[in-house]
Every structure is written in structure tokens, then in C-alpha cells.
């Protein structure tokens, strides 16, 4: 198999040319993000961008409510596909053909997110139901191939099936009743995912691939913000004074990129594999929903402030940008706390050795980066009520974002978590890195670990 074909399929072939099929084999092998997955994510770029344009056309509370519901549905559809690849691999035929099939209803969703819900609501509901039905078929096919579904998988398949039926039934409703049924279907999906057995020993998810996909989606949303900035800048004259707000906004986006990727990005997944407990990993994954939504709202706020003029536009910009930046800082602080949670527990309560997690447990009080993020959130919220123009407001937000990024970078805990991530990553990859002091089963310090305990990824 050529390198291009392996990249397309997303997996590696073994010595005899067979694709890796078991969870343990997938964990031991590399699982790069495939071109098909990147193609799938790019389709989501269009859907989320059109949804942001819906909010930009009418930036009021009722429109935001519909925006939040439709955004959650789209993000949940993306997470379902990503979780399937993390559990079963992205090189199997089920995933490849199922993902291609999911692109059709996804494209229909992108078409229907604009316009009055009385006109497009039924189309959106039927397209979403079709996408969920394809995911259910993918789960059933892969379950049969592996010898039958587990009890947790059966609960998830049943819940997703009922959810798809609710989405389809909502096509014959309208108004508040239709939105209520959408919310009920999403709540059913989340409940089934959380209530399923999260300690299955059958499928070992890839601990590098899943965080990488999540990080790529973060980049997608940053790209959407840049696109909106360019749209707004195109409405202004090509003069330094008129384009300066755009430059300041781009600096803020670069600082947010640094804030996110300076963290030990794969640590939650690595710790979940080590401890065999998926609760923290689920919380970490779901924390990306408010983060992603806030980035989408941020693009609307920046674009509105740059393209429009007047006190009303300035007020709407301060509201959208302030709330979204506060949500971003808060989400990043939550992700830091979730990464620390397994390491802060006493030795013996989780299979993380005292030697590995001692620097984390010995510290006192919240870290400087956590305080900086929470302080930054408070400052941008306070700026909402300050009646200033776009240029001064953008400069203030940029200064706050740069300060938060700098304080997070100077935090000693950041380097300590990076070292822990490196050691656990070497262990997960089966490398020769210095992983002494970690025992995945008993917690003894001077025994080289024998591997990670398999868990299930979020199945949405």
C-alpha cells in the first residue's frame, strides 16, 4: 500500500498487508488523521460559517437561542463521527463509507441553517435524522464484526435510534414545539452516552488521535474568526487607521491559539487510558462545546465591530465579544482543572504514581494561569459596560488576551504538565522514554508500566 493510500485510509497496515482491527493493536500503532477526516471537517466549516451568518444578521436573544440549539446539534454530529474513529479506527471500511455517506446529510444541514425556521426547520430535522441513522448503522456493523455489541453500546444504539426518530418526527411540527423536540432528542443522546458503561475493556481508543481531531476543530473555528475579520475589513478603506482594529483582532486570535496549544493537550486522554476512568475525558471533550460556540460568536462580534459603525454597533460588539471571550477563558480554565484532577488525588486512589504527580499535589492554591484566565474573563465582562468605540475596545481586549497568554506561558505548572504528558505519551506509544515511576495497575513507582487500561471514548 502506498503512503498516499495509507494517508487516505488513516491507518497503517501490518506486515502481511492486513489492516489493524483490534483496539489494542490500534493503540500500539500510529493512527494519523486521514485526508477523509480533514475533508469531513472542512464540510463542517461551511455549516458553522453559515450558522454564524445567521446570528450576524439578527444578533438578538431569540436568534441566539436558535443559534445555540442548532450549533449544539452540528457539534454533536461532528463528535459522533470523531468518537467512532477514536474507538474503532479511521481505516476500516465501515468508517470510510459511513463518513462519505454522512457528508450528504451534513451538506443538507449547511444549506438549511439560514432562513426562517418555518421554511427550513423540517429540512434541517430530516437531514439531521438521516445523519444520526447512518451513525447507528455504522455502530451496528462494527459491533457485529467484533462479536456483538456490549451492554453499553446497545444502550447507545437504542438512544441514538430514538433520538433520530424524534428528529424525524419534529419535521411535522413547527415553532416552539419543534425546537422543544430537538432539545429533547439532544438530551436523550447525551444521557445515553453518559449512562453507558464507560469502562469497557473491548475497545481501546487511540489516545493521540482523539485529542488531535479536537485540536484540528479548534483551528477550524479560529479560521472562521479570521474569515469574518477579513469580511469586515473588506468593508473599510485600505488605510492604517481603518484597518487597525482588524490587526488587533488578529493578534488576539494568535494569542488564543497560543493559549490552547501551549497546554498539555493530550494529557486528559493519556490519563484516562492510564486510570481506566473516562469521566474526566468525557468532561474535557464536552468542555469544547462552549469553547467552540464562543469562538463562533467571537467571529460575529469582531466582524460586526469592524464592518459597522455607530453606538448601536459598538454596543452589540462589546456584548458579543465580551461574553464570548469570557466563555473562552472560562473553558480553558476548566480544561486545565480537568487535566489536573487525576493528578491531584492521593497516591493509591488512582493508578498514577506519587513520583509522577508529586509536583502537582505539592503546590498550594490555584495556578497562576488559572487565575489569569479567570481574571481575564472578569475584565472582558466589565468592559461590556464601558461605552468606548471599536478601536479602543479592540486594543483593550487584545491587551487582556496577551496578558493572559503571557501569564499562562510563565506558569511553572505548564512545563510540569508537559513533562508528565511526554512521559505518558512515550508509554502509550510503547517507546523507550523515561516512564519509570508510573504503574498503570498497582501504582508502584519503580516498575516499568505494562500498558494502559482500555476505556471508551465519548460516543455521541
Please give the Cα distance from 129 to 169 (Å, whole number).
9
Q: Does residue 424 contact residue 453 with C-beta atoms inside 8 Å?
A: no
Count of Cβ atoms closer than 10 Å to residue 311 Cβ: 9
Residues 6+ apart with CB under 8 A from 134: 98, 101, 102, 105
Please give the Cα distance from 117 to 386 (Å, whole number).
35
Cell of residue 414, nine digits: 505548564
Q: Does residue 216 contact residue 261 with C-beta atoms inside 8 Å?
A: no
Q: Does residue 48 contact residue 218 with C-beta atoms inside 8 Å?
A: no
Please give the Cα distance from 127 to 122 (Å, whole number).
9
CA distances to 243, 297, 372, 457 from 291, in Å? 27, 10, 17, 19
Cell of residue 457, nine digits: 471514548
Please give the Cα distance from 180 to 174 (Å, whole number).
10
pLDDT by residue for the chain (460 residues), tens digit each? Answer: 445 445 555 555 433 344 445 555 555 566 778 888 888 888 888 888 888 888 877 778 888 888 899 999 999 999 989 888 888 878 788 889 999 999 999 888 888 887 778 888 889 999 999 999 999 999 888 776 666 666 767 888 888 999 999 999 998 887 888 899 999 999 998 888 877 655 444 454 667 788 888 888 899 888 888 888 887 777 777 777 778 888 888 999 999 999 998 887 778 877 777 766 667 778 888 899 999 999 999 988 888 777 767 777 778 888 889 999 999 999 999 988 887 777 766 555 555 655 566 666 666 667 788 899 999 999 999 999 988 888 888 899 999 999 999 999 888 888 888 777 787 777 766 644 444 444 433 334 333 333 333 334 444 4
Q: Give the predicted TM-score (pTM) of the model.
A: 0.82
In degrees, rounded to 5, the angle at the alpha carbon of residue 62 between the alpha carbons of residues 56 and 64 is: 45
Amino acid at each position: 500500500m502506498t503512503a498516499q493510500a495509507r494517508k487516505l485510509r488513516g491507518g497503517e497496515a501490518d506486515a502481511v498487508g492486513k489492516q489493524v482491527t483490534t483496539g489494542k493493536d490500534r493503540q500500539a500503532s500510529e493512527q494519523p488523521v486521514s485526508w477523509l477526516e480533514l475533508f469531513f471537517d472542512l464540510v463542517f466549516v461551511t455549516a458553522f460559517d453559515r450558522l454564524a451568518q445567521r446570528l450576524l444578521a439578527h444578533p438578538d436573544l431569540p436568534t441566539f437561542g436558535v443559534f445555540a440549539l442548532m450549533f449544539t446539534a452540528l457539534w454533536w454530529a461532528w463528535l459522533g463521527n470523531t468518537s467512532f474513529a477514536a474507538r474503532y479506527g479511521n481505516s476500516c471500511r465501515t468508517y470510510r463509507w459511513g463518513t462519505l455517506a454522512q457528508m450528504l446529510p451534513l451538506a443538507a444541514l449547511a444549506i438549511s441553517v439560514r432562513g426562517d425556521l418555518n421554511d427550513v426547520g423540517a429540512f434541517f430535522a430530516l437531514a439531521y435524522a438521516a445523519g444520526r441513522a447512518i451513525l447507528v448503522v455504522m455502530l451496528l456493523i462494527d459491533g457485529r464484526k467484533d462479536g456483538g455489541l456490549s451492554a453499553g453500546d446497545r444502550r447507545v444504539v437504542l438512544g441514538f435510534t430514538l433520538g433520530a426518530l424524534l428528529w424525524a418526527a419534529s419535521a411535522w411540527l413547527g415553532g416552539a414545539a419543534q425546537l422543544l423536540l430537538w432539545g429533547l432528542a439532544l438530551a436523550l443522546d447525551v444521557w445515553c452516552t453518559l449512562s453507558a458503561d464507560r469502562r469497557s475493556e473491548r475497545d481501546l481508543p487511540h489516545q493521540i488521535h482523539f485529542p488531535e481531531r479536537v485540536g484540528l476543530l479548534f483551528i477550524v473555528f479560529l479560521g472562521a474568526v479570521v474569515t469574518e475579520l477579513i469580511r469586515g475589513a473588506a468593508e473599510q478603506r485600505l488605510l492604517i487607521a481603518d484597518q487597525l482594529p482588524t490587526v488587533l483582532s488578529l493578534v488576539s486570535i494568535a494569542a488564543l491559539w497560543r493559549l490552547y496549544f501551549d497546554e498539555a493537550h493530550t494529557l486528559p486522554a493519556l490519563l484516562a487510558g492510564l486510570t481506566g476512568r473516562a469521566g474526566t475525558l468525557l468532561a474535557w471533550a464536552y468542555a469544547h462545546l462552549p469553547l467552540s460556540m464562543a469562538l463562533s460568536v467571537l467571529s460575529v462580534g469582531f466582524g460586526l465591530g469592524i464592518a459597522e459603525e455607530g453606538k448601536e454597533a459598538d454596543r452589540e460588539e462589546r456584548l458579543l465579544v465580551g461574553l464570548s471571550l469570557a466563555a473562552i477563558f472560562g473553558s480553558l480554565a476548566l480544561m486545565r482543572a480537568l487535566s489536573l484532577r487525576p493528578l491531584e488525588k492521593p497516591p493509591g486512589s488512582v493508578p498514577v504514581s506519587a513520583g509522577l504527580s508529586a509536583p502537582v499535589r505539592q503546590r498550594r492554591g490555584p495556578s497562576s494561569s488559572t487565575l489569569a484566565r479567570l481574571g481575564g474573563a472578569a475584565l472582558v465582562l466589565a468592559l461590556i459596560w464601558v461605552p468606548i468605540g471599536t478601536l479602543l475596545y479592540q486594543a483593550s481586549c487584545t491587551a487582556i488576551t496577551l496578558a493572559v497568554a503571557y501569564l499562562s506561558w510563565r506558569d511553572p505548572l505548564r512545563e510540569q504538565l508537559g513533562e508528565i504528558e511526554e512521559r505518558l505519551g512515550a508509554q502509550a506509544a510503547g517507546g523507550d522514554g523515561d516512564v519509570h515511576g508510573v504503574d498503570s495497575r498497582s501504582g508502584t513507582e519503580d516498575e516499568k508500566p505494562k500498558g494502559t487500561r482500555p476505556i471508551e471514548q465519548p460516543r455521541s
